[in-house]
Amino acid sequence: MPRRIADVLRQGEVHQLPPNATVFEATRLMKAKSCGAVAVVHGRRLEGIFTERDLVNRVVAVGLDPVRTALGKVMTRNPDSVRAGTSVADALRLMEDGGYRHLPVVEGGRLVGMVSRRDFFGAEKAQLEHERLLWEHVG
């Protein structure tokens, strides 16, 4: 039976901050939790995601001060998300097509977790690569 996001979703804390938190706070949280992304939420409603890529492209490369810059200014707004019942294959396809490594999990408009590419098995990633190669030959 194909795995679902609920099968890979780690139980426990979802790494999140409000939009008025600073980039500095986000990077300290990311370092402490060894994660590459933080969900930006108002209450439990997902407003955005702040990733390592956002840090490089939207903060450091343009010379913003991480201590003074609010996440709401530099986050990726309205990120793609999946539900807990989404198949792992569909989530991986979404991540591949979008070119990102982290995917929020939302149920009923509320953030319930986050998955990253490292949460998936090698066989699942290999299947996605196989499908991609088939589509390249067809198209």
Task: Report all structural domains of the chain as residue ranges with CATH numbers, in order of start.
Answer: 5-138 (3.10.580.10)
- Candidates 110, 119, 39; CA nearest to 79 is 39
The yes-or-no verdict on residue 3 having pLDDT over 70 is yes
Rounded Cα gap, residues 75 and 38, in angstroms: 9
Q: What is the mean pLDDT of residues 23-39?
A: 96
CA distances to 36, 41, 52, 122 from 28, in Å? 11, 17, 12, 30
Q: What is the pLDDT of residues 59-118, one digit of tens each?
A: 999 999 999 999 999 999 999 999 999 998 889 889 988 999 999 999 988 999 999 888
Q: Give the count of alpha carbons within 13 A of 46, CB side only.
A: 27
Q: What is the mean pLDDT of residues 18-35?
A: 97
Average pLDDT value over all residues in the chain:
88
Q: Where are the beta strands (DSSP E) in the chain?
A: 16-17, 37-42, 45-51, 76-77, 102-107, 110-116
Query: What pLDDT score does 44 carry?
Result: 81
Angle between helices 88-98 and 122-138 (to 10 degrees): 60
- Candidates 98, 120, 119, 102; CA nearest to 111 is 102
- Candidates 80, 77, 75; CA nearest to 91 is 80
Beta bridge partners of residue 105, listed in sequence order: 82, 113
- Cβ neighbours around 102 below 10 Å, total: 23
